């Protein structure tokens, strides 16, 4: 496997892992804030929202990186990388840059999945398809 494909795979898997970490940390923070403010906490609703907005798009990028780098399926791999990446970057711009200082307390945690997503997408475009080798009998 070429170095570029290894970096693409590491970037994709790092994006997926960071998506899981962002979801867990945000869930924990929401629980602690609701306890401190004595508000009712809805764990199923919050879990589904965090799963939908933070974890699933990052896991889509990780799956796309796997298909593109390991399985050498550039069609579905690039499609998953770019759709997941567009969602990750779009949500970052929506929640962090548009929300102002109130949402900036976790910008570092939410920034690195965007960086790894853009790295993965850029490398997936830079990697050239290797011609299939035919065995001569």
* pLDDT at res. 102: 54
| pLDDT category of residue 133 using cuts at 50, 70 and 90 | low
Q: What is the pLDDT of residues 100-115, one digit of tens each?
A: 655 566 677 788 889 9
- E strand or H helix that includes residue 91: helix 74-92
For the chain, domain boundaries: 3-126
Q: What is the pLDDT of residues 61-119, one digit of tens each?
A: 999 999 988 888 778 888 999 999 999 999 888 877 666 655 566 677 788 889 999 99
Contacts of 113 (CB under 8 A, 6+ apart): 15, 18, 19, 22, 58, 88, 92
In this prediction the pTM is 0.82
Q: Which residue has the higher pLDDT, 61 or 131?
A: 61
């Amino acid at each position: 496997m070429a170095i570029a494909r290894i970096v693409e795979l590491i970037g994709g898997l790092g994006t997926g892992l960071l998506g899981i970490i962002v979801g867990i940390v945000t869930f924990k923070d929401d629980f602690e804030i609701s306890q401190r403010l004595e508000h009712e906490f809805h764990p199923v609703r919050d879990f589904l929202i965090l799963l939908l907005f933070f974890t699933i798009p990052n896991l889509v990028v990780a799956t796309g990186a796997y298909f593109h780098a390991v399985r050498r399926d550039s069609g579905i791999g690039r499609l998953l990388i770019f759709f997941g990446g567009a969602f990750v970057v779009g949500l970052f711009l929506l929640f962090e840059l548009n929300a102002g200082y109130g949402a900036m307390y976790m910008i570092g945690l939410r920034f690195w999945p965007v960086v790894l997503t853009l790295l993965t997408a850029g490398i997936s475009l830079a990697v050239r398809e290797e011609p299939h080798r035919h065995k001569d009998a």
